[in-house]
Amino acid sequence: MDDRSLLALAEQAKEKAYAPYSQFRVGAALLTEEGKLFTGCNVENASYSLTNCAERTAVFSAVAAGCRNFSALAVTSDAQTYTYPCGACRQVLIEFNPDMKIIMGNINGEFIVRTAADLLPLYFHGDTFGKPEERK
């Protein structure tokens, strides 16, 4: 699937967003290495800390369906500027594939592409602490 097609799926997912507080609708489309697609939208809550971003909604849906190998994620919103994943989403994305292609679009259909590692250099990962016997 090409970048523009994945971005179009993110745009469709954005239409399902529940954003009554910020009015900032976001959609994401996630492609697995096996060619499966998962979409997500942001879901807000009056208690903002309980809000879930579109990117994490797509990833969590894929994981719940048994998928773990992701190759690309597209994210877009109604903004004129490119839509970047937040820090929490960047950490979730990096967990599955630091080389995952991240396609960030805007309301005009323009986009830029980076990897998850580009967006979160020096990221935290499970090897950070090393093996138990190596910890001091």
Catalytic residue among 15, 33, 34, 55: 55
Binding-site sequence positions for substrate:
42-48
61: left (phi over 0), alpha (psi -120 to 50) or beta: alpha
Annotation marks residue 55 as catalytic: yes
Instruction: Identify any residues that bridge with 104 across adjacent strands, giving them in sequence order.
Output: 75, 112
Q: Which domains does the chain have, with CATH numbers?
A: 3-123 (3.40.140.10)
CB 114 within 8 A of CB 84: no
Per-residue pLDDT at 135: 39
- What is the token pair recorded at 16? 């399902």
Binding-site sequence positions for Zn(2+):
53, 86, 89
Single-letter amino acid, residue 127: D
17-46: pLDDT as tens digits: 999 999 999 999 999 999 999 999 999 999
66-103: pLDDT as tens digits: 999 999 999 999 999 999 999 999 999 999 999 999 99
45-73: pLDDT as tens digits: 999 999 999 999 999 999 999 999 999 99
- Give the pLDDT band of residue 129 (cuts 50, 70, 90): low
